[in-house]
Structure 1
Amino acid sequence: MIEDIQAAIPLGLLLSFMIGPVFFVLLETSATKGFRAGVCFDVGVVVADIVFLVIAYFSSFQLLENLSNEPGLFVFGGMILLVYGIYLFAKKAKKKTTARPSKGGYVALFIKGFLLNFINIGVLAFWLGLIIVVGPSLENDPERMLVFFSTVILVYFGTDLMKIILAKQLKRYLTIERIVLITKGLGIVLIICGIVLITKGFLPKERFNLKEEIERIS
C-alpha cells in the first residue's frame, strides 16, 4: 500500500501543473477574488474529477470505445469552451474591487469549477486511459485502486492550494490593465482548447481511436 501511495504522489504533482483552461482560471480567480474563492473553484474541479473517476472505473473499456464512436461529444464540449473563451476575450474591464464573493458567489464558483472541468471530455478520456494503464499494475484490486487514486487527488488538491496561496500574493500587483490581459489571455487559451476539441470531433474515427492508442502505449 505504501508503494502505491509513493507511486501516486508524482502523478498528483504532474496533474496539478498540467497547463489547461482550469489551470489559468484557478490562478485568475485566486489572484482577483482571494483564497476562499480559489478554494471553492478548485473544490468544484476536484469533484468533477472524482465523478469522472467513478464513471471511468465502472465503465472502463466500454465507455472508452463509445467515446471513440461519438465525436459529437468532442464538438459539444469544444463549442462550450469556444463560446466561453470568446466571452472572456470580449469582456470589458471592470474596476478593481477587494470585496469578497457572497455565499451565493462561492457556490457559483464551485459550480463554475465543476462545469469547466466536466465539459472537457478529454478529462474523462484521461482518467479512463489512466485506469486502464495503471489497473493491471494494481492487480485491479478495488482497495489498492482506491488508495492510489485517492492519493493522486489529495496531492493534486494540496498542490493547488499552494498555487492559490501564491496567486493571492500577486493580487497587489494586478492593475486593471494586467487583469484585462490575463482575462483576454485566458479567453485565447479557452478558444484554442475549444477549437482543438471541435477539430477532434470532425476527424475520421480512426484518427482518434483512444483505445488503440492506449493499448499501443502499454
Structure 2
Amino acid sequence: MSFIEGFFIGIAMIIFVGPVFFLLLNSSFQYGVKAGFSVAFGIIVSDVICVLLCYYGLSTFMTATQNQFWIGIIGSVILFGLGINYLLKKAVITNDISINSKKWTSFFIKGFSVNFFNPFVFIVWIAVFKYGHEKYSDSIAFLVFLTAVLTGILTIDLLKVFLSDKLKPFISPYRLKIFFRITGVVLLIFSFRLAYLVW
C-alpha cells in the first residue's frame, strides 16, 4: 500500500511544471535520449539528497530564512545563465549522438543544479517526508513510501524523454528555435521570480 501511494504521489509531481521540465525537454530535443537521461539522472540524484537531508534532520537548516536566501540566489543565478544561453542558442537538430563522459557530466550537473538549488523543491520534499512519516510509523513502510515517490518521479521524467524523442521528427530547426526562445524567457521569469521571493 505504501509503495502504491508513494508511486502515485511521485507521478503527481508532473503538475509542477518548473525549470527542470523545460531543461529536460530541450536537452532531449537537441541531443537525444541519452542527454535527456543524463538530465533526469541529475534531477533524481538531487531529489535523493533532499530526502537524505530530511531524514537526517537537516530540513530545518534548509528552510531557515538565511539559508533559503542563499540557496535561492544561487538557483536564480543558474536559471538566469541558462535562460540567456537558450535565448542565444542556435537551433541545431542532431541525431541521438554518442555522449562522452564530459558531456554526460555537463547534462547531469545541469539537471542536478537546477533542481537542487530551487528552494521550492525542498519545501515539497519536506511536506512529502512529513506526510509519509506521520502516516507510516513502521520504518520499512516509510522507506518503501519514499523509494516509491522517487521511482514515480523518475518514471515521469524518463517518459518525458521518450515522448520528446518521438516528437523529434516533427521538430524543425525553426520550431526548435522558437522553443529555445520560449524556454529562455520562461527560465528568466523563474530566475527573477525566485530572486524576488527569497529577497
| Contact persistence 1:56–1:63 (CA under 8 A) | no
Aligned-CA RMSD value = 1.9
Deviates more, 1:178-187 or 1:55-64: 55-64
Structure 2 residue 146 is the aligned partner of structure 1 residue 149: yes
Report deviation, 1:17: 4.2
Q: Following the alignment from structure 2 to structure 1, what is the Cα–Cα distance between the partners of residues 46 and 143?
A: 17
| Contact persistence 1:33–1:101 (CA under 8 A) | no
Report deviation, 1:99: 5.7
Report deviation, 1:69: 4.0
TM-score, structure 2 length as denominator? 0.89
Partner of 1:54: 52
Gaps of 5+ in 1: 203-218
Q: Following the alignment from structure 1 to structure 2, what is the Cα–Cα distance between the partners of residues 97 and 65?
A: 41
- The 1:92–1:153 alpha-carbon spacing in structure 2 relative to 1, beyond 3 Å, is closer
Gaps of 5+ in 2: none
- Alignment partner for residue 82 of structure 1, among 66, 80, 83? 80
Q: How many residues align?
A: 197
Partner of 1:170: 167
Structure 2 residue 31 is the aligned partner of structure 1 residue 28: no
| Contact persistence 1:42–1:113 (CA under 8 A) | yes
Partner of 2:38: 40
1:130-149 alpha-carbon deviations (Å, 9 max, x no partner): 2123311112x432221001
Report deviation, 1:125: 2.2
| Contact persistence 2:34–2:96 (CA under 8 A) | no
Partner of 1:115: 113
Q: Following the alignment from structure 2 to structure 1, what is the Cα–Cα distance between the partners of residues 63 and 156?
A: 32
Report deviation, 1:61: 5.3
Query: Secondary structure of the equivalent of 2:57?
Result: helix
Letter in 1 for 2:156: T
Structure 2 residue 179 is the aligned partner of structure 1 residue 182: yes
Identity of aligned residues (%): 25
- The 1:170–1:61 alpha-carbon spacing in structure 2 relative to 1, beyond 3 Å, is closer
- The 1:10–1:55 alpha-carbon spacing in structure 2 relative to 1, beyond 3 Å, is same
Report deviation, 1:37: 1.7
Runs of 4 or more, structure 1, over 6 Å off, are: none
Structure 2 residue 194 is the aligned partner of structure 1 residue 197: yes
Deviates more, 1:94-103 or 1:152-161: 94-103
Q: Following the alignment from structure 1 to structure 2, what is the Cα–Cα distance between the partners of residues 173 and 181?
A: 14
**Larger gyration radius, structure 1 or structure 2:** 1
